[in-house]
Structure 1
Amino acid sequence: MRLSVSHRTTYRFAEPVRDLVQSQRLQPADCENQRVVDWSVRAEGGQIGAGFRDGAGDWVQTLSMRGWVSGLTVEVAGEVETADLNGVLRGHRETVRPPVYLRHSRATRPSTGLRRLAEAAVAGEETGLGRAHALARTVTETIVYSPGETDAATTAAEALEHGYGVCQDQTHVLIAAALTLGIPARYVAGYLFSEGGDAMAEASHAWAELFLEGLGWVGFDPANACCPDARYIRLGSGFDAVDAAPIRGVAQGVATEYLDVEVNVAQVQQQ
C-alpha cells in the first residue's frame, strides 16, 4: 500500500519567547515494513540543523529559531510504501538492546492493579506470542476508548483506575503490564490510514511494541484491537509518549502555548 501524509503542527505563544530549539523525530525509517518514497519537513523561518540516527534506529534532527518567536508552523509531507508483516518489525536497524526497554518511566510505572491485570491476562498462556496477544486483548477490553477524559500527564496506573482513555493511555497500560511480566516494551508514534473514519483510528496514532524471543519486536495496537499492518507508518519509539514524541522543544521565556495539529493520511492510487 502507498500512503501519503500531510502533517502540520502550528505553535502560537501568548507572549513571544526567545531562541526556540526543537528536536524532531519526523522522518520514517526504511525497513521491510515501510519504504519512504518521498518526504520533506519544512518550517518557515526555522533553521534545520544536523541530523543523526539514534540508537533506536530513528532519525532525529534539530530546528532552531533565533531571536523573539511568536509562532512556528512545521509542515511534513510525503509518501511511504508499506507492507503487512503481521505486526513484526523487520529490517529496522538499531543498536539499543531489548533489555534496555525493561525500564519503566513515570507514565508506565507498575502498580498493584497493573500487575494483577497482567497476571490474570496471561494465565494459561504458554508461549510468548500468546501472552503478548492476551495482554493486548485485555487492555482493549479494560480501557474504553473515550477522548477528552484524560490528558498528556495521565499515567498507566491512573488510566487503569479510570477504565478509559485514548490510544496514548491504552499504549501506556499495555507497556506497563508487559513490564510487570519482564517483557521489554516500548511506545511507538506514527500515522494510521483509516478508510472508514473510525474515531479510534486517528491519523496521528500510537501503539506498543513488545520484544518476543524468536520474533523480535512485534507491534500491538490496543486501540484498534490489531497488530500494525499496511495501514500504519512508524515514525519513532521511546519509553513512553514523551520520549517518543515527534516534536520536543525548549525556549527562553514563559508564555502560554497554543497548539494546533492537522494530520491527513490517504491512500495513493497507483497506476
Structure 2
Amino acid sequence: MRLKITHETGYRYDHPVRGLVQSLRLTPSIHAGQRVTDWRIAVAGGQRGAGFRDGAGDWIEAWTVRGPADEVTVAVAGEVETRDTAGVLRGHRETISPLVYLRPTALTAGDAALRDLAHAEGGEDALDLAHRLSAAVARAIAYEPGVTGAQTSAAQALALGQGVCQDHAHALIACARERDLPARYVSGYLHSNIDGQPHDAAHAWAEIHVGALGWVGFDAANGCCPDDRYVRLGSGHDADDAAPVRGTAFGPGRESLAVRVQVEEMGQEQ
C-alpha cells in the first residue's frame, strides 16, 4: 500500500517565549514492512540540529527555535510504501536487549486488577499468550474518546473500562510484563477506511517480544496485529517515552496545542 501522510503540530503561547528546544521522533522506522519514498520535516522558524539513531532503532533529531515566538508549527509530509508482515517486526536493527522492556513505568504499572486480568489467560506458547492478552484488554476496555487523558495510567483506564488506543496499549503492556513478556509502546499512523472506524490517523499500539520470533505488534484497540495500513514511527516504555514530539519552551507563556493528521492511500502506478 502507498500511503501519503501529513502531520502538523501547532503550538501557541499566550505570551511570546524566548525559544524552544525540541526532540523529534517523527521519521518512520526502517523495517521489512515499510519503505519511505519521500519524507520531509520542517519546524517554522526552526534550525535543525544533530540527529542520531538510538538503541531501539529510532531516528531522533533535535530542533531549536529562537524567540521571541508566540506560535511554532512542526510539519511532516511524506509517502511510505507498506506491506503486511502479520505484525512481525522484521529487519529492524536495534542494539538494546528486549529485557529492558520488562521495567514498569507510572503509566504501565500493574495493580491487582491488571494482575488478575493478565493471569486469567493461558496460552500454548508466548505468541498465543500475547494474542490472548490483547483480546482480554480489548474486552475489558471499550473504545471511548474523551474519557481519559494523556496521563491516564493503565490501571485507571482498566478501572474506567473505557479509553482510547493509548490506554489499550498501556494496559496490554502492563499485562504482558506481568507475564514476564517484554512489551513496549509504539507510536505511528493508521490508514482508517471510511467505513465507520472511529480511530484517529495518529495511532498507537503495543509490541510484545515472543522469543525467537522477536517483536510482534498488537493493536488491542482494533483487535488485530498491524498490517499494511500501519506506519511505525518509534517506540518506548510508554506514551511519554515514545512521544513523536518532546521539548521545552523557555518563558512564562502558557502553551496550547493543536494536531492535525491525515493518512490517505495513493493510487497504484499502472
For normalisation by structure 1, the TM-score amounts to 0.97
**SS in structure 2 opposite 1:251?**
strand
Residue 42 of structure 2 aligns to which amino acid in structure 1? R
RMSD (CA atoms): 1.0
Alignment map for 1:111-150 (pairs within 5 Å): 111-120=111-120, 122-123=121-122, 125-150=123-148
> Distance between the aligned counterparts of 2:81 and 2:199, measured in 1?
19
Match of residue 262 from structure 2? 264
Tell me, yes or no, if structure 1 residue 213 matches structure 2 residue 211: yes
Tell me, yes or no, if structure 1 residue 174 matches structure 2 residue 172: yes
Aligned match of 1:242 in 240, 243, 246? Answer: 240
Match of residue 103 from structure 1? 103
> Distance between the aligned counterparts of 2:173 and 2:222, measured in 1?
16
Match of residue 5 from structure 1? 5
Asked if 2 retains the 8 angstrom alpha-carbon contact of 1:200 and 1:223, the reply is no
Asked if 1 retains the 8 angstrom alpha-carbon contact of 2:19 and 2:251, the reply is no
Match of residue 24 from structure 1? 24
Match of residue 33 from structure 2? 33
Asked if 2 retains the 8 angstrom alpha-carbon contact of 1:143 and 1:160, the reply is yes
Alignment map for 1:180-191 (pairs within 5 Å): 180-191=178-189
**SS in structure 1 opposite 2:155?**
helix
**SS in structure 2 opposite 1:115?**
helix
> Distance between the aligned counterparts of 1:50 and 1:223, measured in 2?
35
Asked if 1 retains the 8 angstrom alpha-carbon contact of 2:45 and 2:66, the reply is no
Q: CA deviation at 1:29?
A: 2.0
> Distance between the aligned counterparts of 1:236 and 1:198, measured in 2?
27
For normalisation by structure 2, the TM-score amounts to 0.97
Asked if 2 retains the 8 angstrom alpha-carbon contact of 1:200 and 1:224, the reply is no
> Distance between the aligned counterparts of 1:250 and 1:44, measured in 2?
16
- In structure 1, runs of 5+ residues without a counterpart are none
Identity %: 55
Residue 3 of structure 1 aligns to which amino acid in structure 2? L
> Distance between the aligned counterparts of 1:3 and 1:201, measured in 2?
17
> Distance between the aligned counterparts of 2:85 and 2:74, measured in 1?
31
- In structure 2, runs of 5+ residues without a counterpart are none
Tell me which moved more, 77-86 or 64-73: 64-73
Residue 162 of structure 1 aligns to which amino acid in structure 2? L
Residue 17 of structure 1 aligns to which amino acid in structure 2? V
Residue 63 of structure 2 aligns to which amino acid in structure 1? L
> Distance between the aligned counterparts of 2:214 and 2:199, measured in 1?
25
Q: Which runs of 4+ in 1 moved over 6 A?
A: none
Residue 213 of structure 2 aligns to which amino acid in structure 1? L
> Distance between the aligned counterparts of 2:194 and 2:115, measured in 1?
35
Alignment map for 1:227-238 (pairs within 5 Å): 227-238=225-236
Q: Deviations over 1:19-40 (max 9, x none)?
A: 2000000001221010000000
Asked if 1 retains the 8 angstrom alpha-carbon contact of 2:46 and 2:65, the reply is yes
> Distance between the aligned counterparts of 2:191 and 2:222, measured in 1?
12
**SS in structure 2 opposite 1:27?**
coil
Tell me which moved more, 9-18 or 237-246: 9-18
> Distance between the aligned counterparts of 1:268 and 1:67, measured in 2?
38
Q: Deviations over 1:72-107 (max 9, x none)?
A: 011100000101000000000111110000001100
Q: CA deviation at 1:255?
A: 2.6
